[in-house]
Each structure stands twice: as structure tokens, then as C-alpha cells.
């Protein structure tokens, strides 16, 4: 006999509180992504089942599955950016702030791999460049997060702590490198990877041109 407790019956929201149902749909999709780590396992029917609503109820709040994923990703990006902002505010010097941002990024990827994959390693990025169905919620949040890093790189350049002369390009190279650090350590676990802090120091030297 299964020991899994039955899911409690969902209580219907009062009339006029459709915003609560939208929130429940987003949370249900988040739980499914946490469990599977892949958007390819999702469907409107599965999300409706997890939220304990009828599938047409989901369709009344979201145009399609891509729109739900967009809302979920935007929510996660905002939470991720909050962590980066807290790390950025924990120290005062630009060089220390950038290193704190980088360490927070790596820690997020290592400690919450499913959510990292949803943000940065999805199998499909639906309609990212489609002008008719732009990722309205998640792209601005992603851009704000990237700008936080770019502005911190620029502060390092302005203070003479970095040799780079192009903050945006250096921030992109930094993102390339950190994504590789996180994903390779997760996918090839038996390789003798270097110490994370040592790797971060080398990445910052090579992408930003940190001065000694």
C-alpha cells in the first residue's frame, strides 16, 4: 500500500479572485519544474492537475504553456537577482562586490541545480526573439540582472581595479565562463575540477582583467 498522503482537496477561490488562481498556476508549474528540471515534461494538463483545477481554467489565465513558463522564469529571476543584490551590498569596494556577485551566482547554480537549469539551461527558449510573442516578463528581469553585473564591472574599470575597456563584453565573457563552471561540474562529476574559489579568481583575471 502506498504511504504517500493524499493531496488535500483544493478550495475554490471566491468569485473575483482570479489573481489567486493565476498565482496557484505559477506555483504549480514551479513545483513541477523543481521536480523534473525540464520544461519538456510540462503540459497544460499536468499543470492543471498539480494546481487541482480544470485545464480550461489554466487557459483563461495564460495564452499557452510558453506564457506560463515565462511567468515562472520571471519569478525565479527576480528571486535570483535579490540574492545577487544582497551579495553586492555586503561589501563596498567594486572588486569585492563583483567577486561577491560571482560567488553568489555559482552558489545558486550548485545549491539549486533544478532552478538554475530552468533559468539558464533550458532545452528550448520559446519565442525569445519572436517580435510577436516576446518573453514579456522574463526578458526584462534577465536584462536587469545582467545590467547589475555589467555596472559592477564598469565600477571596477572606473576604479582602476580592472584592465578591461569594455564592461559589457567582459560581463558577457564572465557569464560564459561561470555558466561553464556550474554546468560542467554538475554534468561531469568525476573530473578533477579545481577549487571553486581558485577557479573564480582565474576567471575574473582572464575576463575582467583584475589587477593584482
Residues 79 and 173 in one domain: yes
* 96's grid cell: 569585492
- Is residue 80 a part of any domain in this protein? yes
Higher pLDDT, 192 or 9: 192
Average pLDDT over residues 134-149: 87
- Is residue 176 a part of any domain in this protein? yes
Residues 35 and 136 in one domain: no
Question: Is the predicted pLDDT of residue 63 greater than 60, yes or no?
Answer: yes
Tell me, what's the pLDDT at 133?
58
- The confidence band for 26, taking pLDDT boundaries of 50, 70 and 90, is very high
- Is residue 10 a part of any domain in this protein? no
Tell me, what's the pLDDT at 154?
97
Angle of CA points 52, 121, 144, to nearest 5°: 90
- The confidence band for 132, taking pLDDT boundaries of 50, 70 and 90, is low
The residue range of the domain holding 47 is 16-62
Contact (CB, 8 A) for 162 and 210: yes
Tell me, what's the pLDDT at 15?
42
**Cα–Cα distance measured from residue 18 to residue 59, given in angstroms and rounded to the nearest whole number:** 12
**Cα–Cα distance measured from residue 88 to residue 91, given in angstroms and rounded to the nearest whole number:** 6
**Cα–Cα distance measured from residue 161 to residue 97, given in angstroms and rounded to the nearest whole number:** 12
Residues 180 and 75 in one domain: yes
122: left (phi > 0), else alpha (psi -120 to 50), else beta?
beta
- Is residue 212 a part of any domain in this protein? no
Tell me, what's the pLDDT at 163?
94
CA 28 vs. chain centroid, Å, equals 17
Question: Is the predicted pLDDT of residue 38 greater than 50, yes or no?
Answer: yes
Contact (CB, 8 A) for 182 and 106: yes
CATH number, domain of 157, equals 1.10.357.10
- Is residue 6 a part of any domain in this protein? no
Q: What distances in angstroms separate CA 68 from CA 58, 74, 192, 194, one per listed residue?
A: 9, 10, 39, 38
- Is residue 140 a part of any domain in this protein? yes
pLDDT digits (tens, 9 = 90+) for 147-194: 999 999 999 999 999 999 999 999 999 999 999 999 999 999 999 999
Give buried/exposed letters for 185-202 (b at 16+ CB in 10 A, else e): beeeeeeeeeeeeebbee
Question: Is the predicted pLDDT of residue 9 greater than 90, yes or no?
Answer: no
Question: Is the predicted pLDDT of residue 90 greater than 60, yes or no?
Answer: yes
Number of folded domains that form the chain: 2
- The confidence band for 8, taking pLDDT boundaries of 50, 70 and 90, is very low
Residues 149 and 171 in one domain: yes
Residues 76 and 136 in one domain: yes
pTM for this entry: 0.81
CA 161 vs. chain centroid, Å, equals 28
Average pLDDT, the chain: 85
CATH number, domain of 54, equals 1.10.10
* 38's grid cell: 525540464
- Is residue 8 a part of any domain in this protein? no
| Residue that is last in its domain, among 62, 81, 116 | 62
Residue 102: which of 196, 29, 8, 37 has the closest Cα? 196
- The confidence band for 136, taking pLDDT boundaries of 50, 70 and 90, is confident
Question: Is the predicted pLDDT of residue 67 greater than 70, yes or no?
Answer: yes
Amino acid at each position: 500500500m502506498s504511504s504517500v498522503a493524499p493531496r488535500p482537496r483544493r478550495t475554490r477561490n471566491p468569485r473575483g479572485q482570479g489573481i489567486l488562481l493565476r498565482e496557484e498556476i505559477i506555483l504549480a508549474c514551479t513545483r513541477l519544474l523543481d521536480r523534473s528540471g525540464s520544461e519538456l515534461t510540462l503540459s497544460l494538463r499536468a499543470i492543471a492537475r498539480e494546481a487541482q483545477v480544470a485545464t480550461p481554467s489554466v487557459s483563461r489565465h495564460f495564452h499557452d504553456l510558453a506564457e506560463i513558463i515565462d511567468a515562472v522564469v520571471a519569478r525565479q529571476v527576480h528571486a535570483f537577482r535579490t540574492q545577487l543584490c544582497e551579495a553586492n551590498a555586503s561589501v563596498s569596494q567594486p572588486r569585492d562586490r563583483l567577486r561577491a556577485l560571482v560567488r553568489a551566482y555559482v552558489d545558486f547554480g550548485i545549491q539549486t541545480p533544478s532552478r538554475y537549469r530552468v533559468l539558464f539551461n533550458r532545452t528550448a527558449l520559446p519565442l525569445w526573439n519572436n517580435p510577436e510573442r516576446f518573453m514579456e516578463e522574463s526578458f526584462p528581469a534577465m536584462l536587469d540582472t545582467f545590467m547589475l553585473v555589467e555596472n559592477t564591472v564598469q565600477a571596477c574599470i572606473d576604479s582602476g581595479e580592472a584592465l578591461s575597456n569594455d564592461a559589457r563584453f567582459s560581463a558577457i565573457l564572465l557569464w560564459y565562463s561561470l555558466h561553464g563552471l556550474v554546468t560542467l561540474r554538475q554534468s561531469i562529476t568525476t573530473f578533477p575540477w579545481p577549487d571553486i574559489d581558485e577557479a573564480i579568481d582565474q576567471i575574473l583575471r582572464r575576463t575582467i582583467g583584475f589587477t593584482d
